[in-house]
């Protein structure tokens, strides 16, 4: 499955909104369209499923121009989740999720199985939730159902338009982690739009940073943090926090050393990132920690200066 | 993706033009009868034009059709829309002028008893002129107040030329009934006033009490709803017997004009009908007053009455006006039915016309009622928009 | 959809329907009662036509005109959802709004010069006037469908016809039904007034009573019309509850 945006242009009322947008998306990527309000990121997303038309250039889906598809067939192969969710209020959770599979003619058993599978994937007990109505769910639960509904027919690509933007920080964090797990487990291709830099850094395999309808920089999260091409990128990523943000992306595991001298008293799990390790050290007013695995076996130690002075590049 | 043909043009206007052409060709513009008793012979628009023999009018008409066709294909141009509004106002007064002149010349030609009445064609063309103008006014996209003013100003040319139609049967009927009209309108307004003002006062009071006492609300709303469900004629009828009985028991009431017939059952029934929209909108208005404003006022030491007058009512006013508008318009229309129980008013003229098969009289009764209702509606809309513009 | 146990309204529906039938069929036997209430009237009970017959004719007139009105108005309203139809939406909204200012009597009165006396102008007038509340309710119901719901339906690849039947119509239904209810109840009242133009309905005793100064006739006719209107309104209320017992608003009222 491949998606290709080629020289995409769009204007509104004569003013150019999107200029020369090019992007190739491969199977399994989680590509993030990142940028301030008005940068055109939502518009680009909606061009892919033809909710918005493009004025110039071509968009190819598996090598075929999207305008040559029957628009409804095209949309049924793509999942779409948005901030306001848009669940059908007069249908149960189960029915909502089953919408596209039923449109595609799946038989009832297969539909039922898929609904249950998805609810469980999104940490909701099917027995409890499948029969409920949207107004009986919390905001976070509604969005989970929205994501489940988008994934229901096993789409080639999942389009997500700031889906977690309206949720409180705790729910948002939980759903972000859930999505990351799902992406790792299923290899679902996702095109995700957000203006939240931390969300982008957490989820993306690749970030496309946009401003005023143009691509400013494209790359992995680490690349953007370590080598911002210009001031806009550096500022958008949080200039003062660039270093700390980098730390949150690097796991400590490759940097565990054998214990020399006095063994540090406090421990930390081997799965954490640099950022968590340094944060823990700062809280305890120490500069080294003992690293243990899940059983409690000591694996070695990490030292603050080592963490700060080494790079993964 | 460019807009489809339908989206680029104005299909509504196309429909109107098609209807207008149909009306000119298929419906009689006027009906002419040699006297009052016989029914009229149809006269079509082109007959009228031929009779009056004016080439300028023909040229004007052609220009009008061309303008309209252009407007169908180019709905975006504001200038064209402005032209349309002007030409439609002219057309409205124009058809009246044509009808009036035809009637005048026909009477001069011979038979002084000749009755020229307005036919379906005339009414259709007048209505279409109004609708086309409304469409054009909407496309010019003005703010509320200027838009309402423009919609009202549309009728100005017609009003100025009203006298030109004095030989039409409808004008003659009006001349006959002239002395009746003034009192009828006054009586109609009196009924509306006597019903709405108490409804407003009591309705506000009730709504205010209802915000404090939940049980009152649960008891009262069903009653008001039931009253609203009962058809007006039935309610008038139901009130007649008790009021008649009351008038017999207390002769003083009868002397004051309160009895089973007349304006008493009408006003009481209309008062009851007006309560529901007023109470409902007052309640909604009071309830949507932000709690912060109320709390701030209380914290400043305002008494309950000061709170009501200075904070709650002003903030509830926009919603209340909507309910009041609905109540006044509804009452104006219902007051027409009250003529059946002897309340008089414009409904009396209408029913007199119905019972004596005098079509002109029916229309003469209906038009003022509709006009009054529309004027009340516009008045309140203007009031509402004025309140909105206040900071 | 689960059927909820009848709320108090259903009992009241039963009572009003019973009272209506009782009055309609029992009127001839109520002579002593009305004679006592109106001792001065030589004919205190309306016997010129069987009240029950008038009632059925009234119901018939309302049913036919309301059905016609509902069909026309609903189709017109639904037509505004298509691309061609949406151009006509402002016109329909204007018409629907005008319907609120126009008194129903006026439509009835205007029908006479056009069509004459009898059942036909009544039918035409009632149908035309009945269109307006239903049209307004159809438009309002369609407008009440939240935009995110429509967007997500489109994005999922539902065809426009599918969106109409699966999303828009079910969500617009409660408001639409309220409009039909208003239309029918107003129709019942206007049908009574239609007796002035020669239609044989429950308004006849009222009109005859008014012209003959027979308050008993007026009362009997008025009670019939009132009971019929109340019964119809309660029936719609019951219908609305049965259809939408599971919605959020039902939860709030429970």
CA angle B218, B220, B224 (to 5 degrees): 125
State which residue of chain A sits closest to C148, comparing Cα positions: A86
Rounded Cα–Cα distance for residues C153 and C83 (Å): 17
- What tokens does C11 get? 């009992």
Which chain C residue's Cα is nearest to A151? C156
The string over A11-48, giving b where at least 16 C-beta atoms fall within 10 Å of a residue's C-beta and e elsewhere, is: eeeeebbbbebebebeeebbbbbbbeeebbbbbbbbbb
DSSP string, B284-332: HHHHTS-HHHHHHHHHTT--HHHHIIIIIHHHHHHHHHHHHHHHHHHHH
Percentage of chain C beyond pLDDT 70 is: 93
**Diameter of chain C measured on Cα atoms:** 75
Q: Which residues pair with B115 in a beta bridge?
A: B33
Placement of tokens 């006095």 in the chain: A262
pLDDT of C45 above 90? no
Q: Calculate mean pLDDT across residues B288-315.
A: 83
* Interval C137-162 mean pLDDT: 93
Which of A245, A270, A288 marks a domain boundary? A245
Q: Summarize chain A as % helix, strand, coil (round to 5).
A: 40, 25, 35
Amino acid C246: pLDDT: 52
User: What's the domain count of chain B?
Assistant: 2
Can you spell out the DSSP letters for A66-78?
Answer: GGGS-HHHHHHTE
> What are A201-239's pLDDT values in tens digits?
999 999 999 999 999 999 999 888 888 899 899 888 887
**3 state SS of A158:** strand
Note whether A141 and A99 are same-domain residues: yes
Yes or no, beta carbons of C106 and B333 under 8 Å apart: yes
> Rounded to an integer, what is the distance from CA B95 to the centroid of its chain?
22
Least Cα distance to A97 among A147, A51, A140 occurs for A147
Q: How far apart are CA A249 and CA C184, in angstroms?
A: 67
Does residue B76 sit in the same domain as residue B59? yes
Q: What is the pTM of this model?
A: 0.83
Q: State whether A232 and A289 are in the same domain.
A: no
The minimum CA-CA distance between C86 and chain A, rounded to whole Å, is 19
Q: Is any Cβ of chain C less than 8 angstroms from the Cβ of A103?
A: yes
Query: Do A72 and A153 form a contact (C-beta atoms < 8 A)?
Result: no
Is residue B251 within 8 Å of residue C252, measured between CB atoms?
Answer: no
Final residue belonging to a domain, choices A199, A214, A245:
A245
pLDDT at B5: 62
The residues facing A111 across adjacent strands are none
Tell me the CB-side half-sphere exposure of residue A94, using CA atoms within 13 A.
Answer: 18
Residue where one domain finishes, among candidates B167, B201, B220: B167
Interface of B with C in 11-30 (CB under 8 A): 11-12, 15
Which pLDDT score, from 0 to 100, does residue C117 have?
Answer: 78
Dist CA A264 CA A279 (whole Å): 16
Residue of C nearest to B244 (CA): C215
Residue A101 · residue A114 · CB < 8 Å: yes
Closest CB to A82 among C152, C170, C171: C152
Shared domain for B195 and B292, answered yes or no, is yes
Q: A173 and A299 share a domain? A: no
Asked if A90 and C153 come within 8 Å (Cβ–Cβ), the reply is no
In C4-35, which positions are buried (b, 16+ CB within 10 angstroms) versus exposed (e)? eeeeebbebbeebbebbeebbeebeeeeeebe
DSSP one-letter code for A254: G
Residues B81 and B195 in one domain: no
* Co-location of B163 and B192 in the same domain: no
- B135 and B262 housed in the same domain: no
Q: Are residues A256 and A236 in the same domain?
A: no
Q: Rounded to 5 degrees, what are φ and ψ at C118?
A: 115, -160
Q: Estimate the crossing angle of helix A139-151 against helix A108-121, to 10 degrees.
A: 130
Residues A160 and A72 in one domain: yes
Q: For B342, name the nearest residue in chain C, comparing CA atoms only.
A: C210
Residue of B nearest to C98 (CA): B374
Cα–Cα distance measured from residue A85 to residue A164, given in angstroms and rounded to the nearest whole number: 10
Domain that holds residue A269: 251-309
What pLDDT was estimated at residue B13?
Answer: 86
In C25-64, the residues whose Cβ lies within 8 Å of chain B are 37-38
Asked if residue A190 and residue A259 are part of one domain, the reply reads no
pLDDT grade for C252, boundaries at 50, 70 and 90: very low
User: Which residues of B fall within a CB distance of 8 Å from C112?
Assistant: 354, 359, 362
Length of chain A: 313
| Parent domain of B124 | 5-167
Please choose, from the candidates B77, B97, B103, B279, the residue with its C-alpha nearest in 3D space to the C-alpha of residue B198: B279
pLDDT-derived band at B4 (thresholds 50, 70, 90) equals low
Q: What is the mean pLDDT of chain B?
A: 84
- Chain A residues within 8 A of C158 when measuring between CB atoms: 72, 99, 103
The pLDDT of residue B271 is 94
Q: Given a cut of 90, is residue C142 above it in pLDDT?
A: yes
Nearest to A72 among C150, C157, C246 (CB): C157
Which of helix, strand or coil describes residue B116?
A: strand
**Residue A16 maps to which CATH number?**
3.40.50.300
Assess whether A263 and A184 both reside in one domain: no
Q: Measured between CB atoms, does B233 come within 8 Å of chain C?
A: yes
Separation CA B218–CA B198 (nearest Å): 22
Tell me, yes or no, if C192 comes closer than 8 A to chain B by beta carbon. Answer: yes
- SS3 assignment for chain C: CCCCCCCHHHHHHHHHHHHHHHHHHHHHHHHHHHHHHCCCCCCCCCCCCCHHHHHHHHHHHHHHHHHHHHHHHHHHHHHCCCCCHHHHHHHHHHHHHHHHHCCHHHHHHHHHHHHCCCHHHHHHHHHHHHHHHHHHHHHHHHHCCCHHHHHHHHHCCCCHHHHHHHHHHHHHHHHHHHHHHHHHHHHHHHHHHHHHHCCCCCHHHHHHHHHCCCHHHHHHHHHHHHHHHHHHHHHHHHHHHHHHCCCHHHHHHC
Nearest CA in chain B to C216: B241
Q: Which residue has the tokens 């007026």?
A: C218
- Residues B157 and B188 grouped into a single domain: no
Domain-terminating residue out of B143, B167, B191? B167
Under an 8 A CB cutoff, do C170 and A90 touch? yes
On whether both A225 and A298 belong to a single domain, the answer is: no
Task: Name the domain boundary from A195, A211, A245.
Answer: A245
A142 in C contact zone (CB under 8 Å): no
The 10s digit of each residue's pLDDT in C205-237 is: 998 988 888 888 888 899 999 999 999 998 998
Res C251 pLDDT > 60: no
C192·B231 Cβ contact <8 A = yes
C88 CB near a chain B CB, below 8 Å?
Answer: yes
Whether residues B179 and B66 fall in one domain: no
Chains in contact with chain B (at least 3 beta-carbon pairs closer than 8 A): C
| pLDDT value, residue C164 | 93
Instruction: Name every chain A residue with its beta carbon within 8 A of the beta carbon of C162.
Output: 103
The answer on A206 and A133 residing in a single domain is: yes
CB atoms B231 and C225 under 8 Å: yes
Say which residues have a Cβ less than 8 Å from residue B229's Cβ, sequence separation at least 6. C185, C229, C230, C233
Helix (H, G, I), strand (E, B) or coil at A270: coil
Is A116 in the same domain as A258?
no
The SS3 of residue A218 is: strand
Mutate to test the interface with B, among C9, C62, C106 (most CBs of B within 10 A): C106
Which CATH number does the domain housing residue A257 bear? 3.10.580.10
Mark whether B358 and B381 lie in a shared domain: yes
Among candidates A268, A220, A270, A278, which has minimal Cα distance to A248? A278
B303 and B363 fall within a common domain: yes
Q: Are B119 and B262 in a shared domain?
A: no
Q: Which residue has the higher pLDDT, C248 or B244?
A: B244
Angle at B203 between CA B201 and CA B205, to 5 degrees: 70
Q: Which domains are seen in chain C, by residue range?
A: 8-27+50-249 (1.10.3720.10)
Residue A108 pLDDT level (bands cut at 50, 70, 90): very high
Asked if residue A241 and residue A143 are part of one domain, the reply reads yes
C206: nearest CA in chain B? Answer: B237
B270: contact with C, CB 8 A cutoff: no
Q: How far is the C-alpha of A252 from the C-alpha of A274, rounded, in Å?
A: 5
Chain C CB contacts of B120 under 8 Å are 114
* CB proximity list for A86: less than 8 A, separation 6 or greater: A146, C146, C148, C149, C150, C151, C152, C153
Q: Is the pLDDT of residue C156 over 50?
A: yes
Domain of residue B195, CATH code: 1.10.3720.10
* Residue C143, min C-alpha distance to chain A (Å): 15
pLDDT at C149: 95
């Amino acid at each position: 499955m491949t998606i290709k945006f080629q020289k995409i242009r769009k204007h509104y009322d004569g003013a150019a909104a999107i200029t020369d947008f090019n992007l190739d998306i491969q199977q399994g990527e989680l590509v993030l369209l990142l940028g301030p309000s008005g940068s055109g990121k939502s518009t680009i997303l909606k061009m892919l499923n033809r909710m918005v038309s493009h004025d110039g250039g071509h968009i190819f889906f598996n090598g075929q121009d999207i305008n040559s598809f029957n628009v409804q067939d095209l949309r049924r192969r793509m999942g779409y989740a948005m901030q306001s969710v848009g669940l059908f209020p007069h249908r149960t959770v189960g029915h909502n999720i089953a919408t596209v599979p039923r449109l595609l003619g799946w038989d009832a058993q297969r539909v039922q199985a898929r609904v249950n599978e998805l609810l469980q994937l999104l940490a909701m007990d099917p027995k409890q939730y499948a029969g409920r109505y949207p107004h009986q769910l919390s905001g976070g639960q509604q969005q989970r159902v929205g994501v489940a509904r988008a994934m229901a027919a096993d789409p080639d690509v999942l389009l997500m338009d700031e889906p977690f933007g309206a949720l409180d920080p705790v729910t948002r964090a939980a759903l972000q982690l859930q999505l990351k797990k799902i992406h790792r487990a299923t290899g679902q291709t996702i095109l995700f739009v957000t203006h939240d830099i931390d969300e982008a850094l957490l989820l993306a395999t690749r970030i496309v940073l946009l401003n005023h309808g143009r691509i400013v920089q494209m790359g992995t999260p680490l690349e953007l943090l370590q080598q911002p091409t210009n001031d806009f990128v550096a500022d958008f990523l949080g200039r003062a926090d660039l270093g700390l943000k980098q730390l949150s992306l690097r796991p400590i595991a490759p940097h565990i050393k054998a214990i020399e001298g006095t063994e540090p008293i406090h421990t930390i799990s081997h799965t954490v990132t640099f950022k968590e390790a340094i944060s823990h050290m700062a809280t305890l007013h120490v500069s080294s920690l003992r690293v243990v695995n899940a059983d409690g076996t000591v694996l070695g130690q990490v030292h603050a200066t080592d963490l700060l002075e080494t790079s993964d590049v | 993706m460019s807009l489809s043909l339908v989206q680029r043009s104005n299909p509504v206007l196309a429909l109107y033009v098609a209807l207008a052409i149909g009306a000119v060709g298929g419906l009689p513009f006027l009906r002419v009868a040699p006297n009052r008793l016989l029914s009229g012979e149809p006269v079509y628009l082109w007959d009228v034009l031929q009779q009056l023999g004016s080439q300028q009018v023909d040229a004007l008409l052609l220009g009008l059709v061309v303008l309209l066709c252009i407007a169908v294909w180019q709905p975006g141009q504001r200038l064209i829309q402005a032209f349309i509004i002007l030409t439609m106002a002219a057309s409205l007064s124009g058809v009246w002028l044509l009808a009036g002149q035809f009637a005048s010349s026909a009477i001069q030609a011979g038979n002084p008893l000749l009755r020229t009445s307005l036919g379906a064609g005339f009414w259709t063309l007048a209505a279409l002129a109004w609708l086309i103008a409304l469409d054009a006014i909407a496309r010019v996209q003005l703010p509320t107040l200027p838009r309402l003013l423009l919609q009202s100003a549309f009728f100005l040319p017609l009003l100025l030329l009203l006298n030109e139609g004095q030989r039409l049967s409808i004008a003659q009927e009006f001349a006959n009934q002239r002395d009746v009209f003034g009192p009828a309108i006054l009586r109609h307004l009196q009924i509306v006033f006597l019903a709405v003002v108490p409804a407003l006062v009591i309705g506000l009071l009730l709504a205010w009490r209802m915000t404090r006492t939940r049980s009152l609300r649960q008891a009262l709303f069903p009653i008001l709803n039931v009253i609203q469900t009962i058809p007006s004629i039935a309610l008038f009828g139901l009130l007649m017997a008790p009021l008649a009985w009351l008038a017999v028991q207390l002769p003083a009431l009868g002397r004051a004009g309160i009895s089973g017939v007349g304006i008493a059952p009408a006003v009481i029934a209309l008062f009851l009908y007006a309560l529901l929209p007023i109470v409902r909108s007052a309640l909604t208005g009071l309830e949507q007053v932000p709690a912060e404003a109320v709390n701030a006022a209380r914290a400043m030491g305002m008494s309950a009455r000061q709170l009501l007058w200075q904070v709650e009512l002003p903030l509830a006013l926009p919603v209340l006006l909507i309910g009041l508008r609905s109540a006044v318009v509804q009452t104006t229309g219902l007051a027409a039915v009250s003529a059946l129980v002897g309340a008089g008013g414009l409904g009396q003229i209408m029913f007199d016309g119905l019972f004596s098969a005098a079509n002109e009289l029916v229309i003469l009764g209906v038009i003022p009622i509709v006009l009054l209702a529309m004027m009340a509606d516009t008045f309140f809309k203007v009031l509402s928009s004025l309140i909105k513009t206040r900071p | 959809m689960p059927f909820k146990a009848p709320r108090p309204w259903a009992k009241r529906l039963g009572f009003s329907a019973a009272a209506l039938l009782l009055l309609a069929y029992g009127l001839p036997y109520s002579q002593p009662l009305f004679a006592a209430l109106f001792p001065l009237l030589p004919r205190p009970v309306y016997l010129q036509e069987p009240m029950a017959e008038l009632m059925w004719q009234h119901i018939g007139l309302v049913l036919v005109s309301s059905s016609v009105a509902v069909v026309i108005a609903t189709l017109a309203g639904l037509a505004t959802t298509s691309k061609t139809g949406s151009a006509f939406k402002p016109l329909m909204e204007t018409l629907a709004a005008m319907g609120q200012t126009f008194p129903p009597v006026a439509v009835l009165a205007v029908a006479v010069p056009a069509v004459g006396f009898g059942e036909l102008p009544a039918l035409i007038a009632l149908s035309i006037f009945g269109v307006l509340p239903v049209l307004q309710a159809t438009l309002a119901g369609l407008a009440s469908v939240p935009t995110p719901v429509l967007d997500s339906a489109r994005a999922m690849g539902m065809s426009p016809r599918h969106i109409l039947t699966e999303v828009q119509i079910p969500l617009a239904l409660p408001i639409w039904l309220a409009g039909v209810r208003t239309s029918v109840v107003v129709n019942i009242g206007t049908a009574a007034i239609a007796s002035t133009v020669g239609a044989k309905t429950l308004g006849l005793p009222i009109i005859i009573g008014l012209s003959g100064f027979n308050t008993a006739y007026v009362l009997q006719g008025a009670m019939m019309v009132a009971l019929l209107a109340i019964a119809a309104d309660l029936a719609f209320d019951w219908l609305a509850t049965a259809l939408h017992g599971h919605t959020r608003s039902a939860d709030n009222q429970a």
